[in-house]
A and B are shown apart, each in its own frame.
Chain A
């Protein structure tokens, strides 16, 4: 989970950022089912945030079936995490798309050029 980054100044609450981040990592396969996730203490230290915040995110993830807690052993990705709901996926995708479009219009770029850039990035991402 070294790629999990949170932005304290973001409009989204930190626990939400953690939750979303973990879900994304699980959905993308970066976190395999059954893999260990850092303890609340360690993640809080790494991210320099209140452990209660991490605990809240972990609780929601556990409630949502993404993570499981094994007594005395730690926290792990669930064996069968729910796939991200369609609506959730669409929301996140639309949000990111909206940011991309705003950026393009600020640069004064036409739709075709923006689409080209998108296609190139997609190719690159798929190959990685």
Chain B
């Protein structure tokens, strides 16, 4: 260690003049307000002092790194240290430490006087600096060391006059290419954490590689530049090569996530029939979305540009999604789920982004997209657009739609008081207005049934629920008594289910598709209720969250008008806009405790299997 300190001290003393230069610059910074007035003066001082500190430190790192060892090795004037009882680490690290002291000294000489005069780091005013995991001073020292090492390696490689330089250039190009392949292997969207990990990992590996390569060049090269260069290249490309290969492996690993890798934060949408569903969540560091067969375990990953995932047809036989492979127009992919061994197909259809409306027909052969004012209906088998229409939409308007049949697509454009009912005839390529619904008191929510023949509205002020026909003609008012909470949903066969709490009375009410009053069942006290599907005719699943938001699954017997709890900690997967068919597999899908698993649970028999996630 004595050698290390002796060399550090020597290096520092040899180049002391740099501190004098820094002192001069520091005075310049302090004097800045004399030449610019007011706020500009203070900012100028801060900028000069701060940038000056950085420039001096970086300049010292590069200047000393390039000149402290490499020229000596190239001209055989480095023998002085090697003819003395000094270890290679003292020779290398001592010089680095001496340079670091100079760099830190110069930076402090520049920054501290101005800082005491009131200057603040510029980023307080200009932008917010991100919080690094390690304190800034340590990061600065590490950066300095890496700059020093890079300068030394570059200087040695150039001065050694060895043909190895050509090999270095070739390997650098190869590694650059492999870095590009690693990054391009990562999912383009929703993979920020892996991207950051890759970038930081590669940067750290490169820095560490340069430092160890510099050290190796001193240990093995000693007084000979050629040997030093050889050692440098060997260590550098081994470290960087390993890092780059590891980066590719990591990116491939992230890319190849499977549904089993989902651990928590599940988000599931299921088809109305059949065992297929889409499941999203964090997997291997990135957000992953899969089209997954809950019964057979088959899956494919869909790289969608945002959290909206693939859509499944009602019959559970087809999936479609927008695949984001890179920036720019995204291809549409489709997948026939009912044919074993069939792989997803990349269609010729290109979309500019994930459309606002993205609806599959119930058999999955037609797709309707609305984006930026244009509605287009595609034939997925022929992979071409069939019809399109301009449907402008204002800022405060929302759009929804559904296929009434394969040739007719119904569109709903709503604002907070009305709904326009439109219809696109695919064959005739014409857009017609079916009607209009006006809710004077304000519209909070509306819902159409699967074919768009019926529309439910929920008033915003009074929570009244009304039923309308496809052309906007009112059919019935299902509930208008005041209520604290009220929420309607369509069952697949057109019946309407309403959950409500009014004056302390919690109940579930069922209506016919024409609005006729049907069964009633009481509901347990809950902070929220979600509707599952009918496991068997008349047996409706409910998700109940208590006051502490703990979920449980209940079964409502609509015929008997009673409810009972069937499971703790589970809640049904389904959403109000796509309640599954009676008795389908989708009615038995539940989120497990804390959203950390996907569970297959039969409320009637109580059988439970964990499909994905925490067991």
> Is there direct touching of A and B in the complex, by C-beta distance under 8 Å?
no
Interface residue ranges, B against A (CB under 8 Å)? none
